[in-house]
């Protein structure tokens, strides 16, 4: 029984000389320590719009909206800070590692929830046949660069990459149905590409 009492006394004496552990915030600015998990924000330069962060977010705080009616079609990713639980999974699992990060900002008190948003937009690449979303242009370019010469196994990647270097003319929109072998050299989603290959092999 005596030992804990002595320990508490030692702590009390030490605290007198060290001063309080608490800070004087909000009367003085508070600087959070390194590794502090505050408001999460996208990095416009690095994010490729792959939406992996939204898929791992346990609080469903990252909204993904694919606006295919826009010209050009866009993917909008929005972090809702009022739903975020500051777990850091988005940063930890980001495909490019630096697309989103948790800042040291912690003071987000507001009466207007619309202020608690961080949105980023990416141009979408659409399947020339069915109109399905293939991915963001930046994601496809990132993949093509990662794959190097192997990207030439996938026409969608070649066309997107070569198109960005202005080496290839964009294809006309007039896709003939049913899809035939000559349509393989277009930007197609995986379902449409599979349909063409299967039809080539086994017919209708």
Q: Is 50 a binder of ligand SF4 (CB under 6 A)?
A: yes
Residue whose tokens read 């309080």: 20
> According to CB under 6 A, which one of 27, 70, 72, 87 is a site residue for ligand SF4?
87
User: Angle, to 10 degrees, between the axis of helix 155-164 and the axis of helix 137-147?
Assistant: 100
> According to CB under 6 A, which one of 74, 76, 88, 133 is a site residue for ligand SF4?
88
Burial profile 182-191: b = 16 or more Cβ within 10 angstroms, e = fewer: ebeebbbbee
Q: Judged by CB under 6 A, which stretch of 83-91, 127-135, 161-169, 170-178 contacts ligand SF4?
A: 83-91
Q: Is 133 a binder of ligand SF4 (CB under 6 A)?
A: no
Q: Kindly give, in sequence order, each residue whose CB lies less than 8 Å from that of residue 116, ignoring residues fewer than 6 positions away.
A: 80, 81, 82, 108, 110
Q: Is 85 a binder of ligand SF4 (CB under 6 A)?
A: yes
CA–CA distance, 85 with 113 (Å, rounded to integer): 15
Q: Is 70 a binder of ligand SF4 (CB under 6 A)?
A: no
> According to CB under 6 A, which one of 66, 86, 164, 195 is a site residue for ligand SF4?
86
Q: In this structure, are residues 184 and 196 in contact, taking their beta carbons and an 8 Å threshold?
A: yes
Site residues for ligand SF4 per CB under 6 A = 40, 42, 47-53, 57, 59, 61-62, 77, 79, 84-90, 94-96, 99-100
């Amino acid at each position: 029984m005596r030992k804990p009492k002595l320990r508490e006394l030692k702590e009390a004496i030490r605290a007198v000389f060290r001063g309080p552990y608490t800070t004087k915030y909000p009367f003085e600015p508070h600087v959070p320590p390194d590794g502090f998990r505050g408001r999460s924000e996208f990095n416009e330069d690095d994010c490729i719009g792959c939406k992996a962060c939204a898929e791992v977010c346990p609080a469903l705080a990252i909204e993904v909206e694919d606006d295919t009616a826009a010209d050009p079609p866009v993917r909008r990713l929005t972090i809702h800070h009022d739903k975020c639980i500051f777990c850091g999974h988005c940063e930890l699992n980001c495909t490019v590692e630096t697309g989103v990060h948790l800042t040291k900002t912690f003071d987000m008190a507001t009466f207007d929830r619309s202020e608690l948003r961080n949105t980023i937009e990416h141009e979408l690449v659409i399947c020339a046949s069915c109109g399905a979303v293939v991915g963001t242009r930046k994601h496809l370019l990132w993949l093509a660069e990662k794959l190097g010469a192997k990207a030439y196994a996938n026409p969608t990647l070649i066309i997107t990459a070569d198109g960005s270097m202005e080496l290839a003319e964009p294809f006309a929109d007039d896709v003939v149905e049913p899809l035939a072998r000559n349509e393989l050299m277009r930007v197609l989603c995986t379902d449409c590409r599979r349909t063409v290959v299967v039809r080539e092999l086994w017919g209708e």
